[in-house]
Structure formats: C-alpha cells, structure tokens
Amino acid sequence: MDCGKQNHGSAIMGKVTRLSWSPLLLLITLILILSFQITTRTIYPIRLMSGLSEPEVSEVVGSCVGFLREFPRREVIMSIKDFGGVGDGKTSNTDTFRRAILYMQRFGDKGGSQLNVPKGRWLTGSFNLTSNFTLFLEEGAVILGSQDPKEWPIIEPLPSYGRGRERLGGRHISLIHGNGLSNVVITGDNGTIDGQGKMWWELWWNRTLVHTRGHLVELMNSHNILISNLTFRNSPFWTIHPVYCSNVVVKDMTILAPLNAPNTDGIDPDSSTNVCIEDCYIESGDDLVAVKSGWDQYGIKMAHPSSNILVKRVAGTTPTCSGVGIGSEMSGGIFNVTIEDLHVWDSAAGVRIKTDKGRGGYISNITISNITMERVKIPIRFSRGSNDHPDEGWDRNAIPVVKGVSISNIVSLNSTKAPVLQGIKDAPFGGICMKNVTLIGLASASWHCEFISGFAKDVFPMPCPQLQNNASTSWCSYS
C-alpha cells in the first residue's frame, strides 16, 4: 500500500472515530471490494464516467521499466456489448468492433478510451485500433478471427519489403491492426485472441494462397505500445509484428500455434527501436522471436534498423526454427540486441543469425547470455544461404556485415550437433566472443565453422580453430 492510500485511510479513520466498529468494518470491506474490482479491470488510472474514484497505478515492472512513457488517463470505458456485440462464436462482430472503435476515437484527445470484451466468443474480421486506446479482454473472453478471407482486406506491402512476404503484390491486413498510433494497450485478465489460422495454413500447404497471410496483431509507425497478459493462438502468419515502431513492450504473453503451422513466428520486432519482450511462453511452427529490418534492396533503401531490443525470460519450443532468430530479413540493419534467460527445448536451433548475399545491412553488438537448451538440434547457428529474394532487382554485391556477437553462459543438453557457424566468403563474420559454453551429450562434437573469426574461453567441447585466436582479445570483455 502506498503513502497516498495510507493518508486516505487515515482521513477516513479520523471522520469515523465516533462510529461503532461494526459499521466501520463494513465500510472498509466495501471500499476494498470496490477497489479490487476496479483495479483488476484496468492497468493504469482511469476516470470513470460514473464518477467512481480512481484506482491505483499499475506499472510495467521488471526489465521493461523505462521502455514506455506514462499512459494518459482513460476517460471513457465501454463494453463491446454496448454496441450490440454478440459473443456466441457464430455472429459476426466485424462491423460492431469497427463501429465501437470509430466511436471511441472521438475521446483520443480527451484522455482516451477503453473497450472491454467480456466473457464469450466474439467472432470478427479485421479491425483497426486508435490512439490513446485500450483493448481489454476480460477473463473468459475469446476474440475469434473470421473464416471469411474477405474480412481480412488487402493492403499495400510494407515499403521495406517491396511486396508481400509470401506472394507478389499486397497482403492481407492483420486481425488487429493499427498505423500511426500512440499510447495503445492490448491487455486483459488472460483473455484469448484466436486467429483460427488453419484455413490460411491449408492455403499455404495447398499452394493456393493468393496474397500474403495476415498477422494476428500488427502495429505500424506507432509509439508507446503495451501488449500483455493475454493468450494469442493460431495466427495465420507471424503473431505479433511491430514494424517501424518505437517503445514497445510485449510482456507476460502466452503464444501458441501447432508445431507444424507454417511461419507462425511468435514475436517479430521489425525495423523498430526500444522493444522489450519479457516473460513470454511460446510454442510455434517458426521462430519464437525473430528480429528483422527489411528485405534486400527495399530494406537497404529504407534504412530503418531494429535497435535496442531486449528479449528476456522467454521459454518455448519450435521443431523447425530457433528460440531467437536474427534475420534473415535484416537489410535495414540490426544492432544493440540483448537476449537473456532463454529456455528452449525440442527445437531446431537455440539462437540463430541468418543472412545472405543480397541482404546488405549489418548485424552488430549482439549479446546472448544465460541460455538453457534441451534436445536442440543445433544450439548455436550462424547461417547463410537463405536464397530468397523479393524479385530480380536484388543486388548481388550487397554483402551484409556481421560483427560483435557475444555469447556466454550457455548450457545445452543432448543436442544433435555442435555449433554451425557459417559466415560469408567475401565478408567473414568477425568479433565472435564466446565464454562459458557447455554442450553436453552431443551426437557430434565437431564444430563446423567457415568465414568467421573470434575468441573463446571455457568452451566445451573444443571450439573450431577460428575461435582459438589469442592474438587480440581486447574487444572481447569478460568482466
């Protein structure tokens, strides 16, 4: 309890000293109940239209402190039911969500608004958020993605990709979308957003997909974003995609997709800065977390890097990809990435850097530490040969630069292979620093290294010769 509440309590006690204890206890109990009911439905102070007192501030805590600015007070709180929403899992609420947010947009310059989604199954197509806005899913609330592709409209490709990531031309909009927004929160009492992606996966498997699939949540050109305390399921494509954004926190999330669901990445910060991903559990058919920054000549031209990315206390599994991947789309540059306290099991790779000729750009100042892996095929992998390009306009002379990768305090149990570190012939990966890396139970203990250079200390089994160079270690700090 903070000082403000203590003083408030003292004032109440001063006014009721002449009351009997029974009414006093009843009054205190009532106040506590009301306070609990309000604070569990909001994440920061709001001013209710009914005039109820304001609850306590609930702050973002942990390593993400400082990534977000204070959110404005929400002046208006309404339920999707107020707009005629029907939570039976069958009735389309697409127009209802769009109409509700259009109405609540009018309060954006008056402190903002909050739309509550109560218990129920709320079927909807895509809808856009607005600034100074909170989407709050109460306990038992499930937002279901429409099975009608027409309710996922086609929008322009991202300028840093030049086309849809999977197909030429435009792409389907995400289920929940926003562009040019600020001060947006998507949260709740562990409600669920289910993209019902199987329809989209089958289009991919059957090679009948016409346009690139939509994400579950995509926010573009936006600032001061919090996504927390929800379960996201069955995204058609990448699940959470902040692109050209700044000051983004994704925290306390559960993200689930079948392990064979194609390209269902968990969280993909893309050409974004000041992003914190913390305390998330992810099961996916692709990377749990993938840091990106544009595709070949389009990413090079836009030159919008991803920087100041923190990934901490993420756990999960992906049989085909990695716990955290950097690239392969990294043409705008990626720097200042910290990955800590990662736990990955039954996966293709633990941490992976992916790039190729034609990407251009750079990857620098990457710190990876305190990683636990179990039954991961290749615990540490640097790979080339992505061999996918947006069109024939890619530049064969655009060679990426990878330099300054620190990897420490790694434990891997029962991996299939020792690390595979493959740089690029015309641009070796430099400044690779490894310390205290222990790989136990390897089926093959021989490292495979090409076109890399660096230094290793306290690494088992013995690393490749390219990491045994003791000539100069001043750049490799072990403090």
Is residue 178 within 8 A of residue 350, CB to CB? The reply is no
Structural domain boundaries enclosing 141: 76-388+396-478
Q: Which helix (H) or strand (E) holds 438?
A: strand 429-440
Using the predicted structure, report yes or no on whether residue 298 has a pLDDT greater than 60: yes
CB neighbourhood size of 436 (10 A) = 17
DSSP code, position 407:
E
Confidence of residue 62 (pLDDT cuts 50, 70, 90): confident
pLDDT mean across residues, the chain: 88
Using the predicted structure, report yes or no on whether residue 15 has a pLDDT greater than 80: no
β-bridge mates for residue 444, sequence order: 417
Mean pLDDT of 97-120: 96
| CATH code of the domain containing 330 | 2.160.20.10
Phi-psi region of 200 (alpha: psi -120 to 50; beta: other; left: phi over 0): alpha
User: Mind listing the pLDDT tens digit for each residue in 130-171?
Assistant: 999 999 999 999 999 999 999 999 999 999 999 999 999 999
Is residue 394 within 8 A of residue 296, CB to CB? The reply is yes
Q: Is 160 domain-assigned?
A: yes
Q: Is 318 domain-assigned?
A: yes
User: Mind listing the pLDDT tens digit for each residue in 412-471?
Assistant: 999 999 999 999 998 899 999 999 999 999 988 999 999 999 999 999 999 999 998 655
Q: Is 322 domain-assigned?
A: yes
469 vs 343 pLDDT, higher one:
343
Torsion of CA 13, 17, 18, 21, to 10 degrees: 80
Is residue 374 within 8 A of residue 403, CB to CB? The reply is no
Separation of alpha carbons 448 and 242, rounded Å: 34
- The predicted model scores a pTM of 0.88
Whose structure tokens read 């086609």? 154
What is the total count of domains within the chain? 1
Q: What is the pLDDT of residue 32?
A: 41
Mean pLDDT of 304-328: 98
Q: Is 51 domain-assigned?
A: no
Q: Is 451 domain-assigned?
A: yes
- Using only the alpha carbons of the chain, give its radius of gyration: 25
Distance from chain centroid for Cα 327 = 15
Q: What is the pLDDT of residue 9?
A: 38
User: Mind listing the pLDDT tens digit for each residue in 377-409?
Assistant: 999 999 987 789 999 999 999 999 999 999 999
For the record, the structure tokens of 125 come out as 């197509």
Sign of CA dihedral 406, 408, 413, 414: positive
Any idea which residues carry the catalytic annotation? 286
Q: Is 325 domain-assigned?
A: yes
User: Mind listing the pLDDT tens digit for each residue in 18-56?
Assistant: 334 444 444 444 444 334 333 333 333 332 332 222 333
Q: Is 34 domain-assigned?
A: no
Q: Is 183 domain-assigned?
A: yes
Q: What is the pLDDT of residue 426?
A: 86
Q: Which helix (H) or strand (E) holds 124?
A: strand 120-124
